[in-house]
């Protein structure tokens, strides 16, 4: 059973049956959990898939499917730029972006350091801004593209006094309208999808 099936991720029937047009897909934080399952599903459907990872080694399961592993910390704007350049060189401009990378440093407010809070915001909010903005460049030129923001239902109903239960992402999730308005009609609407599980990415 594939990772996509294990966490309940499904592509629409027309993709699972095979789409004749292979797209350039980027999944951030695609080295484990939900991101890995999404990357695998797109690859198995025949798309050209690239995924980013911040540390460790890229999973062999994705390498076997021909996925492009790109080491990138989305809190670093230069690394994001270099990652896109590598992907564009090998797969062409990104046509589908799945902004999945995120961190959580769940802790009571009184015990949380400012450094931890800043780290979460820079990854989940500003990092998402960086990858979406960079994808915008190629999508506008192509006059098409899709952006999917992966969020967590926990972020909108976090336990009391726990400020970083993946909190900034719901800011994007609740209102992807800014990117949708600025890109229209060149791109398809941005969408936000809660994950099938709380697996960290």
What local confidence, expressed as pLDDT, does residue 97 receive? 97
Q: What is the dihedral of CA 125, 133, 173, 194, to 10 degrees?
A: -90
In tens, the pLDDT along 111-170 reads 888 888 888 889 999 999 999 999 999 999 999 999 999 887 665 555 555 555 444 454
CA 41 to chain centre: 14
93 DSSP assignment: S
Task: Give the separation between CA 121 and CA 90, rounded to whole angstroms.
Answer: 31
Tell me what pLDDT residue 136 has. 93
- What confidence score (pLDDT) does residue 12 get? 58
Q: Which residue has better confidence, 175 or 24?
A: 24
pLDDT of residue 102: 87
Task: Summarize pLDDT for 14-69 with one digit per residue, the tens.
Answer: 555 445 568 999 999 999 999 999 999 999 999 999 999 999 999 999 999 999 99
Distance from the Cα of residue 117 to its chain's centroid: 20
Contact 105, 116 (CB under 8 A): yes
Tokens of 94: 């990104």
pTM listed for this prediction: 0.76
The span from the CA of 183 to the CA of 106, in Å, is 34
**Which residues, in sequence order, are bridge partners of residue 69?**
51
pLDDT tens track for 2-18: 444 445 555 655 555 44
Residue 181 pLDDT: 44
Task: Check: CB of residue 31 under 8 Å from CB of residue 53.
Answer: yes
Contact 164, 102 (CB under 8 A): no
Q: Is the pLDDT of residue 90 over 80?
A: yes
Arithmetic mean of pLDDT, 85-94: 96
> For residues 72 and 177, what is the distance between their CA atoms, to the nearest angstrom?
27
């Amino acid at each position: 059973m594939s990772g996509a099936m294990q966490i309940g991720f499904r592509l629409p029937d027309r993709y699972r049956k095979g789409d004749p047009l292979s797209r350039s897909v980027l999944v951030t934080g695609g080295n484990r959990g939900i991101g890995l399952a999404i990357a695998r599903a797109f690859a198995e459907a025949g798309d050209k898939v690239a995924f980013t990872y911040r540390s460790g080694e890229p999973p062999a399961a994705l390498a076997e499917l021909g996925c492009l592993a790109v080491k990138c910390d989305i809190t670093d704007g230069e690394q994001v730029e270099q990652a896109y350049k590598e992907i564009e060189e090998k797969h062409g401009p990104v046509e589908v972006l799945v902004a999945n990378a995120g961190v959580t440093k769940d802790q009571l407010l009184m015990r949380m350091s400012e450094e931890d809070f800043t780290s979460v915001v820079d990854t989940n909010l500003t990092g998402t801004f960086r990858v979406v903005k960079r994808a915008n460049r190629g999508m506008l030129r192509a006059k098409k593209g899709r952006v999917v923001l992966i969020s967590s239902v926990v972020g909108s109903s976090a336990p009391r006094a726990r400020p970083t239960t993946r909190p900034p992402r719901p800011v994007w999730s609740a209102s992807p309208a800014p990117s949708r308005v600025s890109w229209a009609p060149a791109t398809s609407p941005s969408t936000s999808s809660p994950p099938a599980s709380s697996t960290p990415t």
